[in-house]
Amino acid sequence: MPPPARRSAQRAATLFKGTEPFDTLGDWLRFAVSLFNREGLEFAQGTPHAGDEALALLKWALHLDEDLQPFMASRLTASEIAEVKALIARRVVEHVPLAYLTGEAWLGGQRFAVNEQVLIPRSYFVELIQGEPGLGAWLGLRKPKRILELCTGSGCLAILLSQRFPEALVSATDLSHDALDVAQHNIEEHHLAGRVELRQGDLFGAVEGERFDLIVANPPYEPSALCDDLSPELKHEPRLALDGGADGMDLVRRIVREARAHLTPQGVLTIELGGLRNVMTAEFPGVPFEWPVLADGSTAVCVIRAKDLPR
């Protein structure tokens, strides 16, 4: 049996049989959409379906940032076709997510740099940060002076928080040095170096003795068994940022138990934890969690006031 690298090369070569006549943007867009659908690729990391994925891939490969319709009949150069084929092959054969192929992802209408050291940005928190009243429903008229974001990854939520609350100092923590390198790049790209600071450490270990008006946490919350069975695309993401232990609650428990010591008296903690609402309420039966209903009807984020947290 050939080694994996050779098998991948052989598989890639077979993808493009019969494409010799293809020379226009429209040809390659149609081909990519059909191929992505036929191969059953996963589209949970930034684009909802094969059409958007193919459009985004071609825009990036051809340096086009506008409507592609006027260019559909345009002929691609040989080097452009080679670039498009290389990207399509990696997307299909290796199942590399689009964001890792291009080195960029979009969240809340903004661009962020990413690599395989960080999760591809996607979070329900965008609704609560950018929407109205959003987090204001719990903060009221108070403008937070200090905000803590735990498990920052690429830094995207810390950046959105700083834009939403420009008078606040946002501290963002992560255990991974590699993730913090990506976050630092994004902070500089968004010109927020004076308003967002990074700390390396394990949850609150990076901010010992400090208190915040708002704590936002998007920790790993997928059960370990589910992480073992993820799609090939999702397995490209760092498991450290996905795996929340046997029931998904390892870090969530710690955050709830330790947060009170790091909140101001009127402070607010909010955690994204996917579908773990029932597990959370069973774990902390006396805590009056609030569960805002999000745009898709889910309750993937909980909010707790400092006074209601365990001592």
pLDDT tens figures, 247-305: 999 999 999 999 999 999 999 999 999 999 999 999 999 999 999 999 999 999 999 99
CATH class of residue range 4-102: mainly alpha
Would the pLDDT of 190 be above 90? yes
Give the start-to-end residue ranges of the domains of the chain: 4-102, 116-308
Dihedral sign (CA 168, 143, 148, 211): positive
Identity of residue 213: D
* Nearest Cα residue to 305 out of 272, 254, 271: 271
Q: Rounded to two decimals, what is the model's pTM?
A: 0.94
CATH number for the region 116-308 comes to 3.40.50.150
Which residues have a Cβ under 8 Å from the Cβ of 124 and sit 6 or more positions away? Answer: 272, 294, 298, 300, 301
**pLDDT tens figures, 61-115:** 999 987 899 999 999 999 999 999 999 999 999 999 999 999 999 999 999 999 9
From the list 169, 167, 159, the residue with the least C-alpha distance to 190 is 159
Tell which residue, 55, 79, 82, 50, has the closest CA to residue 66.
55
Can you state the angle between helices 78-93 and 4-15, rounded to 10 degrees? 120
Which residues lie closer than 8 Å to 301 by C-beta, 6 or more apart?
Answer: 124, 125, 128, 270, 271, 272, 273, 291, 292, 294
> Distance between CA atoms of 260 and 309, rounded to whole angstroms?
6
Instruction: Report H helices in the chain.
Output: 4-15, 25-39, 50-62, 78-93, 98-102, 125-130, 136-139, 156-164, 177-189, 224-228, 250-258, 277-283
